[in-house]
Structure formats: structure tokens, C-alpha cells
């Protein structure tokens, strides 16, 4: 017998589980279906973000940063530590425990909000009276009928042609999070978020890391002043980052990977590494949905085609997150999930793509929202820029972390904030103020007039806003 729901959400990643909870809060009967399994075969909701992405990578970044500090920076504080050693199994074990806590937290939230969870694969079976028929296959077989469906199946790592992931020698983000030994030499293809974060983790733990990037510029999506500062910092730390690279051949064997490539100058190069992380982007995951059978339209890149409100071509079928257009970011998926749940309930959900922040959790952290200086120049928009270095910030000096700066870009006439770019300590937290100001279409003057506690890193944001009108107080 079929089980009837107002809404069935396919996928329990950030977009899916948040959509399910919000819809339940609004009074809908909701089911969420997810196939991910933990090591014991139990449910592991949370999607890529919780299981092999945002959460475990941040756990490893934190652990590896402690290791780096103990080995290289405690002495600056008068703390002498001898004989620091690494127990990698315990470090990985802590990461796994953090993931488990998040999995269990989502299951608890489902129970609290009366969302029915099904552990298995969901596929469209067809349109029926009352909505859409969804088959769930797994340890139990179920048929669900839903008045509305949200597809939130996420994405998968993109493989290099002819170089499949074996997660032992050639690694995706999944394998990069679970190595059983620190590689002597580690190669990374792709200098994006995953490549830089995973490269940073294993460099801190002792690997010699080489990052190969095809693009001619480092972090082309970021403000180039920020990118240059970050590249300088990463190079000083020991990351070998090469841009403008053309890979000609990758030959994995049982214990190593041989890479042949041309550098930016066109010179032939060879690199042999013990492990290779491939982080060249992600592709939408729609396998198993049975999309062709029900006529669900995919675009030319394989994404589920949606309109501005995340509606697909099928009535009452929606899609959110990595499986649709837009940035592949967990918080973007969450915002879309909430917005769609509210639209289904008759409300007016809101997602502003112009104020979605970007973060890279390296050291220094990199975060930005809005337009870059190069984008403003390209569109010919008159703007003012103000920046303030953490070197002149009292809290940053006390922390012993003065790398980087905050940069504020504002309209030359109206003073409306058009973009904020940060490279430096806890940039991921500082960017929230900029997002808030921009969401309300505030001005640089608004940031400058807000009282910021002293001493805090947030004062660098205030000073950068003051610098837009050339009146910084501490630099």
C-alpha cells in the first residue's frame, strides 16, 4: 500500500533535509528519502557536505592546524613543546566522530519535526492520482505518493577522462579525507576550494604538496588582490602552486602516480607523487531518478532544468542545490530548500544570488560576497575601494596572525556596498556582516558608523569601510 505525503524530498543533503524540516514546520506531511550509508550500513543523512565534504574537511583542517601550531608557532608564545608526534588514526577517528554526530543530529531533527525518513534509493515511478509515485528501494521496499516532490540529489566529483577514482592512489574528496598514512609526495589537480583545503591539510601533516591548475590565474573567481595575497601566503607555507598547466598524461600504478604536463612557459615537466587528489569540479547527480521515464528535463550540462523559483518542467516537482544551476555551495542549497518549502506552503520564498558568500577555509581563510574589482571594471561601474590590513589590527597582533586584509567596494555615487573581500583570520565569520549590509542594500558609511567591539578582528571591516572615504583611523 502506498504511503501518502504532501511532500517527498529526494536527498538529505543540506538542501534536502532543510527543505523537509521547513515544510514540516509549515504544517505539511513530509517524507525524506536518502540512500547514504555509514560504515555499519546505517543511514548517513547530510549529503556530501556532512559525509565527505564541508564537515569532515573542517574537522581535518582544525586538527592539522593544531599540529602546525604545535610544531612551528607555539614557541612564539613562549610554549616549548618537544617530541610532537602524529597519530593519524586518532585524527581520522575524530573526523569520523564529528561526521557521525552530524548524521545523528539530522535524524534527531527529522524526528523532532515529524519528518518521516526512509533509508534507500528513490526513483520516480510515474504520475498518479494525488501526485507523483515514488519507489524506494533499499533494505525495505516502499511506494510513496507525493503531492509535491523536491529533487535534492546533489553532485558527485568529476573524474579526469581515463583516470578513474580508486580512492587509494587517485583520490576524490572522499578518499582525500581518509588516507591511512601521510603521503611523502602529494599531487593535487585543481586549485579550487577542495584542492586548496585538502592540500593544506596534508601539507601541515608532513606531505610535500604540488598543486597543478589549468587556469592561467590563481583563484580567478576571487578578487585578484585577495588571490595574490593568498598565493603569497600559501607559497610561503610550502605549497607549490603552479597555474597555466596543461596535463598531457597521468599514469597511476600500485604505489605512485606519474604526471606529465607543460608548465605556463610551455616547458615539459614530469612529477611523480605517492597520491593524487583530483579536484576539477563536480557534476550533478541524477542517476537512478528515472528522470527520462517521467520526462524530467535536464539541461545540456546534466543539471535538472529549473526556473527562477526552482520549478522543473513537471507539475509540482521542484529541484534545489547542487543538482540545479548556480553555485555548488551548501548554504545556497539550504536557502533554496527553505524557499521552495515556503512556496509549496503558499508563501514567498527568497533567495538572493547576489549576496551568497564564498569561503575557502585555508589559513589564511578567504571569503567574499558580491562583485570583485575586476568585475566592476569590466562593466564600467564607477566605484570606490577601501582596504585595511590585519597587520594594523590589535586583535590580529595578539593572535599572532596578521596576514591579509579586508577590502570594501562601494558605488562611487550612492556608497552602496557592491562587494567585500577578505583574506585573513576567521574571514569565514567576518563575511557575515558584509552579507547583512548588502542584503539591506546598505552603504560603506553604514559599516563605518556601526560600533564594533575593541579589540576584535571585526574592526578591520569597520576600518576598511572608513577607508572607502579615505578616513581610516588606525592605518
pLDDT confidence of residue 140: 78
CA gap 466, 475 in Å, rounded = 10
CA gap 425, 52 in Å, rounded = 25
Residues 6+ apart with CB under 8 A from 307: none
pLDDT confidence of residue 354: 97
Domains 3-157+283-345 and 357-469 share a fold: no
Q: Which CATH class is domain 357-469?
A: alpha beta
With DSSP H G I counted as helix, E B as strand and the rest as coil, what are the percentages for the chain, rounded to 5? 35, 30, 35
pLDDT confidence of residue 139: 78
Segments in the chain below pLDDT 50: none
Of 8, 311, 14, give the one whose Cα is nearest residue 148.
8
**DSSP per-residue letters across 123-162:** EEEEEETTEEEEEEEESS-EEEEEEEEEE---EEEPPBTT
In tens, the pLDDT along 104-124 reads 999 999 999 999 999 999 999
Binding-site members are 58, 153-155, 190-197, 213, 281, 322, 328-331
Q: What dotted CATH number matches 3-157+283-345?
A: 3.50.50.60
**Alpha-helical runs (H) found in 280-329:** 291-294
CB environment 237-253: b (16+ within 10 A), e (fewer): bebbbbbbbeeeebebe
- Grid cell 576539477 — which residue? 280
pLDDT confidence of residue 60: 98
Domain ranges of the chain: 3-157+283-345, 170-280, 357-469
CA gap 277, 250 in Å, rounded = 12
pLDDT confidence of residue 52: 97
Task: Please give the mean pLDDT across all residues of the chain.
Answer: 97
In tens, the pLDDT along 43-57 reads 999 999 999 999 999
Say if strands 405-411 and 383-389 run parallel, antiparallel, or are unpaired: antiparallel
What are the cell numbers at 157?
566529483
Question: What's this model's pTM, rounded to 2 decimal places?
Answer: 0.97
pLDDT confidence of residue 239: 98
pLDDT confidence of residue 183: 98
Residue 148 known to be catalytic: no
Q: What dotted CATH number matches 170-280?
A: 3.50.50.60
Binding-site members for NAD(+) are 190-197, 213, 281
Residues in the chain: 475
- Grid cell 509549515 — which residue? 26
Amino acid at each position: 500500500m502506498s504511503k501518502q505525503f504532501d511532500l517527498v524530498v529526494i536527498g538529505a543533503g543540506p538542501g534536502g533535509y532543510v527543505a523537509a524540516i521547513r515544510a514540516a514546520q509549515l504544517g505539511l506531511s513530509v517524507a525524506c528519502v536518502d540512500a547514504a550509508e555509514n560504515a555499519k550500513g546505517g543511514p548517513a543523512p547530510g549529503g556530501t557536505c556532512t559525509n565527505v565534504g564541508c564537515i569532515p574537511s573542517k574537522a581535518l583542517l582544525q586538527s592539522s592546524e593544531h599540529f602546525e601550531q604545535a610544531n612551528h608557532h607555539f614557541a612564539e608564545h613562549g610554549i616549548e613543546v618537544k617530541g610532537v608526534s602524529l597519530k593519524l588514526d586518532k585524527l581520522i577517528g575524530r573526523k569520523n566522530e564529528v561526521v557521525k554526530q552530524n548524521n545523528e543530529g539530522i535524524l534527531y531533527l527529522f524526528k523532532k519535526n515529524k519528518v518521516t525518513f526512509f533509508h534507500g534509493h528513490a526513483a520516480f515511478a510515474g504520475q498518479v492520482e494525488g501526485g507523483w509515485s515514488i519507489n524506494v528501494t533499499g533494505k525495505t521496499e516502499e511506494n510513496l505518493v507525493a503531492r509535491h516532490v523536491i529533487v535534492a540529489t546533489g553532485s558527485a566529483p568529476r573524474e579526469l577522462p581515463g583516470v578513474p577514482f580508486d580512492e587509494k592512489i587517485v583520490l576524490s574528496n572522499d578518499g582525500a579525507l581518509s588516507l591511512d598514512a601521510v603521503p611523502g609526495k602529494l599531487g593535487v589537480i585543481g586549485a579550487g576550494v577542495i584542492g586548496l583545503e585538502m592540500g593544506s591539510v596534508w601539507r601541515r601533516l608532513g606531505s610535500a604538496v604540488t598543486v597543478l591548475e589549468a587556469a592561467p590565474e590563481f583563484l580567478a573567481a576571487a578578487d585578484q588582490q585577495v588571490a595574490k595575497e593568498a598565493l603569497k601566503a600559501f607559497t610561503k607555507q610550502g605549497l607549490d602552486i603552479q597555474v597555466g598547466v596543461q596535463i598531457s598524461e597521468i599514469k597511476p600504478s600500485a604505489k605512485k602516480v606519474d604526471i606529465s604536463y607543460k608548465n605556463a612557459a610551455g616547458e615539459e615537466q614530469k612529477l611523480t607523487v605517492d597520491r593524487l587528489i583530483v579536484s576539477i569540479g563536480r557534476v550533478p547527480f541524477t542517476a537512478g531518478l528515472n528522470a527520462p521515464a517521467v520526462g524530467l528535463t535536464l539541461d545540456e550540462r546534466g543539471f535538472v532544468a529549473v526556473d527562477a523559483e526552482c520549478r522543473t518542467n513537471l507539475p509540482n516537482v521542484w529541484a534545489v542545490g547542487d543538482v540545479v544551476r548556480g553555485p555548488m555551495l551548501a548554504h545556497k542549497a539550504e536557502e533554496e530548500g527553505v524557499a521552495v518549502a515556503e512556496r509549496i506552503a503558499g508563501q514567498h520564498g527568497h533567495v538572493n544570488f547576489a549576496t551568497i558568500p564564498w569561503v575557502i577555509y585555508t589559513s589564511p581563510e578567504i571569503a567574499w560576497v558580491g562583485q570583485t574589482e575586476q568585475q566592476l571594471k569590466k562593466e564600467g561601474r564607477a566605484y570606490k575601494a577601501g582596504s585595511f590590513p590585519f597587520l594594523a589590527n590589535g586583535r590580529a597582533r595578539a593572535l599572532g596572525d596578521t596576514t591579509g586584509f579586508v577590502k570594501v567596494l562601494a558605488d562611487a555615487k550612492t556608497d552602496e556596498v557592491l562587494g567585500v573581500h577578505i583574506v585573513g583570520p576567521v574571514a569565514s565569520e567576518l563575511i557575515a556582516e558584509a552579507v547583512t549590509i548588502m542584503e539591506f542594500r546598505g552603504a560603506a558609511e553604514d559599516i563605518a558608523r556601526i560600533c564594533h567591539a575593541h579589540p576584535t578582528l571585526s574592526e578591520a571591516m569597520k576600518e576598511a569601510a572608513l577607508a572607502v572615504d579615505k578616513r581610516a583611523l588606525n592605518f
